[in-house]
Amino acid sequence: MAHKSASLNKGYAPFLIPGVIAFLLVIILPFLVNIGASFTKWTGIGTPKWIGLANYVKLIGDVNFWASFRNNLAMIIAMTIIPTIIGLLLSAILFDYIANKFGRGMSNFFRAGFYLPQILPVAIAGVVWGWILQPGSGALNELLKSVGLDSLARNWLGDASTALPSVMGVMVWFQIGYPLVIFMAALQRVDPELLEAAAIDGATWLQKFYYITIQLIRPEIFVVVLTTTIHALKVFGQIYVLTRGGPGTATLVPSYYSYQNFFEKANVGYGSTIATVMTIIIILLTIVFINVQSRQQVAEGF
Amino acid sequence: MSAKMSRPLSIVLATVMLMGLVACGGGATPTQAPPPAQPTTAPAQPTTAPAQPTAAPTAAPTQPKEQRVLKLWHYESLNGAMGAAWAEAIKDFEASHPGVKVAYEGKGFEQIRQTAAMILNSDDAPDIMEYNKGNATAGLLSSQGLLADLTAEATKRGWDKILSPSLQATCRYNEKGIMGSGKWYGVTNYGEYVLVYYNKDMFEKYKVNVPTTLEEFEAVMDTFVKAGVMPLTLGAKEYPSQHIFYDLALSKADRAFINAYELEGKANFKGPEFTFAADKMVEWLKKGYYSKDSTGLGAEEMGVAFIQGKYPIMISGSWWYGRLVTEIKGFKWGMFLFPGAKYGAGSGGNIWVVPTKSKNKDLAADFIDITLNKKIQTLLGNKGGIPINADLTQVTDPQINELIKNFDALVKNDGLAFYPDWPVPGYYDVLVSNIQELIGGKAPTAVLDQLQKAYDEGIAK
Amino acid sequence: MTSASRIIHQVGKYLSLIVLTALLLIMLAPFFIVTLNAFKTPDEYANKGPISMPQGLYWGGIEQFWKRVDFTTKLLNSALISISVAILGVGLSLFNAFALGIGKVKGRILLLIFFVVANTLPHEALAYPLYYFARLVKLYDTQLAVILIFSVIQSAYGTYLLSSAFSTFNKELLEAAMIDGCSKIRLLLNIVVPISMPTLSVLFVFFFIWTWNEFFLPLVMLISNSKQTVPLAIAVLQGQHLMDATQSAASALLGILPCIIFFILFQRTLTRGITAGSIK
């Protein structure tokens, strides 16, 4: 047995060569340059000036950075937790219920529709959501007025108390399609006979969902949670077009903050510091996550 | 299974092959195609003084006379005044420079704004480019050695006589990249300023006149408020709010204040000017002159609201003029300068810069010359822009004349005060978000503190 | 089933459909708004606002935009880059995941982390270093640079997804093939690829769409207009002080149509799902 698996595992290393080289050049080297730049004061052109840990010290005391970090946690809720849960439920409904009652075409149609927000360019989505969330005559406030909920109308993006929730709402809208597509594909793997047997044994839909379905598509759930979390920690485009981080620091996120330093303030050194710190956090998160995931797989005999 | 799978795959492969053919075949862009070889008798240079590029660190050989290409970039809409005038200038240039082709590329403002330094530092830099004026943009690039020194050209060709000193301020930068004095690194050929647009019909209806002082202005707005009409449309999610903020500060300022703020890095946000501005903005909000909701509106929404006739007053830039002319259908409208102030936000327009890496600096200078001549300038005026060297008797539309005359008045009084986001790179975002907070209810002193802090941090570089 | 419960079932069926459709309409509302404004004249938009219906189908905005940015070239550029990245990215992911997920080489966890990390660096941090490298190897302002960069970035995700899926690959099948003396290449091409074709298709679609909509790194890398992509062309409409709203809407419509077509073409392959192992 041991001999068999050993021969199974030999000879795969060469397949990694193109990937590793490419990654070294395109990602790792720039990352090292980035780390190097974080110890300097530099405008991007010309020679950088070494200043040691000064940028990092500044970062620790930077109110804006910590505000942006807190907002990042809100982003994780909006981009990981909520879409994953909605994605799971929606995919089960579409895959099981709708497909059985109305046919595969109908469930495909809904899936395509829910995925569409992911295709719209972020800049345009920002402009359109700006129109919808406009105070006064924006579509959302008009809608509320027309059903008599006038008092709920707000200055969604311009008021510090509603700006972050509004951005979170837009992010949920944007993100739902991604887990949906992945989960619906993963559900193919669930043996329908397994579910029927459970139904015969008296399991409710919820019980089947929780004890069978979710367990079987666990690899995909891991992938979705990790990738959406990484995406949430890096989110930039939507913030840029919706609020540019304002009002004040209500919707500022680290990625936008580092962008401001890189490209608007010509503070490449400090921008690199922020980017390095965020990347290290993401790397640590990834390490923990993948370790947990692989231990799960080992436990299940894979 | 594999048969079904291969259908989309084969579509893809076919597309890729098609791409490959197109990419390989269509690689040569028309702008790179050299013009047919000219006989040696064709004069390629205009009769003005020989244009020798000064201070060119790389003595790059110019292209052979038969096939020179002037790579020109700008980001103005071709429907607008500048775009139209410059298109004509390109035609004139090619007519007077046989053997030279102008390779024009219309760029996006965002791309130039974000990546100008990178582009100019590479071999793909153009020969002449429109660029933003100010310390944070042109100043920064000039101090990094990316822009060619045009001083010799300026004196030789008389640009320093055409442009008044206040217009020259944005063309000249010292070694630290501060504008106002020093070598010529850019040349502007039009103007821009912030003014007040008003709805004439609504002014008539509520029986108010054009105000000449700030108090009268407030009285006018009071009248509207009493009649149940919100007077001022504002987009505080973008630049309009900071222009009003600045204009209010300028109403209490003098030239020393402006120089300290814009040129010397010595802004005082605790001083009377900015304190007045912050307090006034809050006071106007409380009096109902503009809406608290404006923090959620961009410049576009502000303009559209004015065009729809929803608000009688809009305080913003001359760049709106062309659009208002085309799109306002329901009412008569007019303009006036910010009442009672000697100084107002405004400056020379965007500047032509010549990258250090350009191999055609002489041609670039020729082109700049053409955009400054009377013919092109008058055309610019007639199209609704603000020229700086036009024959105003040839500018026919009375409303355009009014626009230009207001600008000229500001220039004559040395009233151009530039813009509030210029002194420090990235200050635009700082101003937008802090004024949003001010409107949202944060105490003026706290907001001014934050502005001071960000300003000082940015200057200390 | 009693007739009462049958009625409840029917009602339940159509109720769920109604709820889902309502949800879908909310999801797609922004698209309706974009379409409305793409066919308005600037006048209509300025005088009646963005949420109003256009008076007729005005094609001028679309025409003007198409000519202004030479949209045909931009479409071809985007298509070339996106398809190349999709192919290269999937290929790279396949090789990596083959070694990690099926081969289980030594240190696979570390290597997997190494690849996923590639997805964690924010693009603005990569901009300056990549700019300098590209200039060094004379690839600045070329589509090739963009293709190479994004193949690497996308394959980070692909490696992760694919190797997760491969971890449940049918071992008996692999062992049977090995016993038959199958080389690694044959193993990859003749067994692993056909079985995982559904997952590869998912990656292909994702990579195409993600690359198509990429804005920032192409902004940095592509300077000449003839090399630029669709998102950059759309950004041209955002001026310093003014924006052209109706043309932006028109450009948005034009920009997403290829992606929608692409997605619909590949819809069927997506339904096969990320199955791993079990050939019935």
Chain B, nearest residue to C264 by Cα: B8
Instruction: List chain B domain ranges.
Output: 65-190+349-390, 192-347+416-459
How confident is the model at residue C117, as a pLDDT?
78
Q: Enumerate residues 6+ apart whose C-beta is below 8 A from B335.
A: B195, B196, B197, B198, B399, B402, B403, B406
What is the pLDDT averaged over residues C48-68? 86
Q: What pLDDT, on the 0 to 100 scale, is given for residue B20?
A: 38
Q: Closest Cα to residue B188, out of B379, B386, B351, B76? A: B351
In percent, the amount of chain B with pLDDT more than 70 equals 85
- Count of structural domains within chain A: 1
C189 falls in which pLDDT band (50, 70, 90)? Answer: confident
- Cβ distance C175 to A125 less than 8 Å, yes or no, reads no
Of B441, B451, B417, the residue nearest B271 (C-alpha): B451
Tell me, yes or no, if A18 comes closer than 8 A to chain C by beta carbon: yes
Does residue C278 lie within any of the structural domains?
no
b/e per residue, C98-112, with b = 16+ CB within 10 A?
Answer: bbbbbbebeebeebb
> CA B92 to CA B100: how far, in whole Å?
12
For residue B44, what are the contacts with CB-CB under 8 A and spacing of at least 6? B38, B65, B68, B97, B98, B99, B100
Per residue in B314-356, pLDDT tens? 999 999 999 999 899 889 999 999 998 899 999 999 999 999 9
DSSP secondary structure letter of residue A152: G
> Is residue A87, in this structure, part of any structural domain at all?
yes
C21 or C177, which is more confident: C21
Let me know whether C130 and C191 are in one domain: yes
Nearest to C140 by CA among C43, C217, C52, C205: C217
Residues C18 and C142 in one domain: no
* Residues C80, C22 share a domain: no
Query: Would you place residue B364 in the very low, low, confident or very high pLDDT band (cuts 50, 70, 90)?
Result: very high
Between CA C125 and CA B435, with CA A74 as vertex, the angle to 5 degrees is 75
Average the pLDDT over B298-306 and give the result: 92
pLDDT one-digit tens code per residue, A107-161: 888 888 999 898 888 878 888 888 888 887 788 888 888 888 878 888 888 888 8
What's the rounded mean pLDDT across residues A230-234? 90
Contact map slice: B 87-116 vs A, CB within 8 A: 114
Question: Chain C contacts of A189, Cβ < 8 Å?
Answer: 273-276
Q: Do A158 and B140 touch (CB under 8 A)?
A: no
Chain B nearest C-alpha distance from A216 (Å): 24
Instruction: Collapse the DSSP code of B335 into the 3-class scheme (helix H, G, I; strand E, B; otherwise coil) and give the result.
Output: strand
Q: Are residues C165 and C209 in the same domain?
A: yes
Shortest CA gap C265–chain B (Å): 7
Do the Cβ atoms of B4 and C45 come within 8 Å? no
Residue contact A136–B293, C-beta within 8 A? yes
At residue B39 the predicted structure's pLDDT band, cuts being 50, 70 and 90, is: very low
The answer to whether A159 contacts B140, with C-beta atoms less than 8 Å apart, is: no
Nearest CA to B431 out of B269, B320, B255 is that of: B269
Q: Which tens digits make up the pLDDT trace of B384-394? A: 999 999 988 89
Residues C90 and C135 occupy one common structural domain = yes
Q: What is the mean pLDDT of residues B275-301?
A: 94
Q: For B227, which DSSP code?
A: T
- Between vectors from CA B241 to CA B240 and to CA B243, what angle results, nearest 5°? 65
Using CB atoms, pick whichever of B8, B106, B119 lies closest to residue C223. Answer: B119
CB contact under 8 A, A135 and B296: yes
Which of the four CATH numbers 1.10.580.10, 3.40.190.10, 3.30.110.30, 3.20.20.140 does domain B65-190+349-390 have?
Answer: 3.40.190.10
The answer on pLDDT for B289 being more than 90 is yes
HSE value, Cβ hemisphere, 13 Å, CA-based, for B264: 10
- From residue B235, alpha-carbon distances to A126, A239, B391, C47 in Å are 16, 18, 35, 17
Q: Give CA–CA dist A254/A275, Å, rounded.
A: 8
Average pLDDT over residues A249-265: 88
Helices and strands (H, E) in chain B, number of each type: 19, 12
Same domain? C13 vs C77: no
B68/B97 Cα distance (integer angstroms): 10
Residue C140 to residue B16, Cβ atoms within 8 A = no
What is the rounded distance in angstroms from the CA atom of residue B164 to the CA atom of residue B160?
7
Q: Is the pLDDT of residue A19 over 70?
A: yes
What is the rounded CA–CA span in Å between residue C163 and residue C104? 10
Q: Are C138 and A267 in contact (CB under 8 A)?
A: no
Question: Contact at 8 Å (CB) between B340 and B251?
Answer: yes
Q: Which chains touch B (3 or more CB pairs under 8 A)?
A: A, C
Whether A158 sits inside 8 A of B429 (CB atoms) is no
Average pLDDT for residues A277-282, to the nearest whole number?
Answer: 90
Query: Do the beta carbons of residue B403 and residue B318 sit within 8 Å?
Result: yes
**What end-to-end distance do the CA atoms of chain B give, in Å?**
64
Segment B298-309 mean pLDDT: 92
Confidence at residue A301, expressed as pLDDT on a 0 to 100 scale: 56
Sign of the Cα torsion C192, C195, C197, C203 reads: negative
Helix (H, G, I), strand (E, B) or coil at C53: coil
Task: For domain B192-347+416-459, say whether CATH 3.40.50.2000 is its number.
Answer: no
> Quick one: pLDDT at residue C2?
72
Is B241 in the A-facing interface, judged by CB distances under 8 Å? no
Q: Determine which helix (DSSP H) or strand (DSSP E) holds B413, and give its type and residue range.
A: none
Region of A158 please: left (phi>0), alpha (psi -120 to 50) or beta.
alpha
- What whole-number distance in Å separates Cα of residue B191 and Cα of residue B6? 61
Interchain CB contact of B72 with C (< 8 Å): no
Among A18, A185, A268, select the one facing C273 at the smallest CB separation: A185
Residues of chain B neighbouring A266 (CB-CB closer than 8 A): 117, 136, 140, 425-426
Confidence of residue B19 (pLDDT cuts 50, 70, 90): very low
Output the CA angle A219-A225-A230, nearest 5 degrees.
130
Q: Which two tokens stand for residue A28?
A: 């790792």
Query: Given C43, C141, C239, which is nearest B77 (Cβ)?
Result: C239
Q: What is the pLDDT of residue B9?
A: 44
Quote the mean pLDDT of chain B.
85
Q: Write down the pLDDT at residue B233.
A: 96
Looking at residues C60-66, what average pLDDT do you find? 88
Closest CA to B355 of B162, B75, B71: B71
CB contact under 8 A, C194 and B15: no
CATH of the domain at C102: 1.10.3720.10
Rg (CA), chain B: 25
> Which of the given ranges, A86-100, A275-289, C258-272, has the highest pLDDT on average?
A275-289
Residue B410 has pLDDT above 50, yes or no: yes
CA B48 to chain CA centroid, Å, is 29
- Provide, as residue numbers in chain B, all residues whose Cβ is less than 8 Å from the Cβ of A156: 296
Residue C196 domain flag? yes
Closest Cα in chain C, distance from residue B106 (Å): 8
Domain-located, residue A55: no
Tell me which chain A residue has its CA closest to the CA of residue C170.
A302
Query: Is B278 a residue whose pLDDT tops 50?
Result: yes
Weakest-pLDDT range from B37-41, B63-67, B204-208: B37-41
Structure token digits, residue C223: 């300077």
In contact, B182 and B174? CB cutoff 8 Å: yes
Question: Which residue in the set C114, C165, C174 is minimally distant from A23, CB to CB?
Answer: C114
Q: Is C181 left (phi over 0), alpha (psi -120 to 50) or beta?
A: left
Domain assignment present for A28: no
Whether C44 maps to a domain, the answer reads: no
Distance from CA of C267 to the nearest CA of B (A): 10
CATH of the domain at A264: 1.10.3720.10
- Cβ-proximal residues to C174 (8 Å cutoff; 6+ apart), any chain: A8, C102, C187, C191
| C contacts of B123 (beta carbons < 8 Å) | 140
pLDDT for A9 equals: 55
Judge whether A44 is closer than 8 Å to chain C, CB to CB.
yes
Q: Which has more confidence, A219 or A255?
A: A255
Tokens of B237: 């999610």
Point out the residue among A44, A136, A248 whose CB comes nearest to the CB of B436.
A248
Alpha-carbon span C74 to B78, nearest angstrom: 19
Task: Report the residue from A45, A249, A260 with minimal CB separation from B146.
Answer: A45
The dihedral sign for the CA sequence B342, B345, B350, B355: positive
In a domain, C178, yes or no: yes
The label of the residue with tokens 């905005």 reads C61
User: With an 8 Å Cβ cutoff, are C99 and A102 in contact?
Assistant: no
Give tens-digit pLDDT for B51-98.
333 433 444 455 555 689 999 999 998 888 999 999 999 999 999 999
* Both tokens assigned to B449: 């503190």
Confidence (pLDDT) at A107: 83
Question: pLDDT value at position C279?
Answer: 35
Q: What percent of chain B has pLDDT over 90?
A: 68
How many A×C Cβ pairs under 8 Å? 278
Strands, E assignment, B17-127: 68-74, 100-106
Q: Is the pLDDT of residue B431 over 90?
A: yes
Residue B334: enclosing H or E segment and its boundaries? strand B333-336
Smallest Cβ–Cβ distance between B111 and the set C48, C204, C219 belongs to: C219
Whether residue B31 is predicted with pLDDT greater than 70 in this model: the reply is: no
B117 contacts A247? CB cut-off 8 A = no
Structural domain includes residue A23: no
Q: What pLDDT does residue B63 have?
A: 53
Give C-chain residues touching A182 at CB under 8 angstroms: 202, 274
| Percentage of residues in chain A having pLDDT higher than 70 | 95
Q: Which domain holds residue C181?
A: 60-270
Q: Which residue of A has its CA nearest to B428?
A: A264
Q: What is the DSSP letter of B241?
A: H
Q: Are A64 and A249 in contact (CB under 8 A)?
A: yes
pLDDT at B66: 65
**Which residues in C lie closer than 8 A to residue B110 (C-beta atoms)?**
219, 235, 238
Q: Quick check: C113 contacting A, CB < 8 Å?
A: yes
Q: Is the distance from CB of B157 to CB of B369 less than 8 angstroms?
A: yes
**Domain extent at residue A215:** 64-299
Q: In angstroms, what separates the C-alpha of C150 from chain B's closest C-alpha?
A: 17
Residue C81 and residue C8 in one domain? no
What was the pLDDT predicted at A189? 67
pLDDT tens string B136-186: 889 989 998 999 999 999 999 999 999 999 899 999 999 988 999 999 999
Residue whose structure tokens are 């020109």: B72
Q: For the packed helices A63-76 and A218-234, what is the interaxial angle rounded to 10 degrees?
A: 150
Assess whether the previous peptide bond of B53 is cis (omega < 30° from 0).
no
Whether the CA torsion A235, A238, A240, A242 is positive or negative: it is: negative
What residues of chain B, 304 to 363, have a C-beta less than 8 Å from chain A? Answer: none
- DSSP states of A102-115: H-HHHHHHHHHHHH
Could you identify the residue written with the tokens 């004040």?
A248
pLDDT band at C271 (very low <50, low <70, confident <90, very high): low
pLDDT at B198 over 90: yes
Mean pLDDT of chain C: 84
Q: Is residue C242 part of a domain?
A: yes
CA torsion sign for B408, B410, B416, B421 is negative
Across-strand partners of B179? B173
Mean pLDDT within A254-258: 91
All residues at 6 or more sequence positions from C166 whose CB lies less than 8 Å from its CB, including other chains: C97, C98, C100, C101, C102, C192, C196, C276
Decide if B297 contacts B240 (C-beta within 8 A).
no
Question: Comparing C15 with A1, which gets the higher pLDDT?
Answer: C15
- Tell me, what's the pLDDT at B38? 32
Q: Do B429 and A247 touch (CB under 8 A)?
A: no
pLDDT in tens, A64-122: 999 999 999 999 999 999 999 999 989 888 887 777 778 878 888 888 899 989 888 88
Q: Is C228 on the interface with A (CB under 8 A)?
A: no
Element (H, E) at C171: helix C171-179
A3 has a pLDDT exceeding 80 = no
Q: Is the ipTM beyond the 0.85 threshold?
A: no
Mean pLDDT of chain A: 84
The reply to whether residue C24 touches residue A97, judged by beta carbons under 8 angstroms, is no
Question: In this structure, what are the phi and psi dihedrals at residue B34, rounded to the nearest 5 degrees?
Answer: -70, 145
Reply yes or no on whether the pLDDT at B223 is more than 50: yes
Q: Is-same-fold flag (B65-190+349-390; B192-347+416-459)?
A: yes
Inter-CA distances, B309 with A24, A110, B314, B333, C265, Å: 59, 42, 11, 10, 47
Structure tokens at B450: 């934050």
Q: Are C253 and C34 in contact (CB under 8 A)?
A: yes
**CB spacing of A189 vs C117 below 8 angstroms:** no
Tell whether C110 is within 8 A of chain A (Cβ): no
d(CA A64, CA A75): 16
